[in-house]
Homo-oligomer: A and B are copies of this chain.
């Protein structure tokens, strides 16, 4: 069996990671997660994408909201609101416990890989979930009027301001997580996460950028676009604002230098010809993951294709 590395953002990536975690032994699966959305809030270190993957694999995520923990309560936030505190970021009481533990472990000198593994243990998750980097990379969204931090853009302004560009502060000083040895992996899978804000911070990192470019035969992309729209989140809105087609074809353009294979939904099969012309191989399979079964099926379909390619 091959060794698999997933490059993963939040919700969409976490769904596929869950599917893979159900079909691959832990020893053959590593999940490298975007930390460009991480931020400090109310004195707490918050890692939204790591938490989404962790909660999803722990079967503790709120499936209806797509973020946060299931059966969450909001007592602290309600009290904070009454005291005039900052409440634009939704901090649930249970979620808070995760941030408190992480912040404390960071203060004790542990790095984010060690902390994430410790959180996995504490949540009973047997998986190699790791941050993309130990150095801070902060994703900012350039909008027409001003530069917004990712959380401001995503939560405070609900992705409303039109996007013109992205800035990854600290990227030049950051390197890909050194505890992930890229040469050990036979297949690197780009999850169906937002290419601009979830995947790009990962693949622009020193230590992985050149490796992917030199090993495109190992790299597959699972399209975040199905039926010419993004299933969740602002991907299609951002593509339109950037003047791109909302299509698998535009996704292929985006990953042109990094990957050789694209997994495409049959609803987009009219674009296969264009994508092949760019030099990609494609495999057509249902990409929508609405329940545990479809997450496992997609992982299995990708696995079957890559094991025998």
Contacts and interface: CB of A to CB of B under 8 A. Distances in A.
Interface of A: 42-44, 69, 73, 75-80, 82-85, 93-98, 100-101, 103-104, 107, 119, 122-123
B100 A85 contact: yes
A80 B101 CA distance: 8
13 contacts: A42-B103, A69-B79, A73-B73, A73-B75, A73-B93, A76-B76, A76-B96, A79-B95, A80-B101, A83-B97, A83-B98, A83-B123, A96-B96
- Of the candidates A69, A101, A123, the one having the most CB atoms from chain B within 10 angstroms of its own CB is A101
A85 B97 contact: yes
B93 A75 contact: yes
A80 B104 contact: no
B104 A76 contact: no
A123 B83 CA distance: 7
A43 B102 CA distance: 10
A97 B73 contact: no
Given A101-B83, A122-B84, A94 B76 contact: yes
A169 to B, nearest CB: 21
Nearest to A94: B79
Contacts of A119: 83
Nearest to A93: B75
Contacts of A75: 73, 75, 93-94
A78 to B, nearest CB: 8
A77 to B, nearest CB: 8
Contacts of A77: 97
A58 to B, nearest CB: 10
Given A76-B94, A76-B97, A93-B73, A122 B83 contact: yes
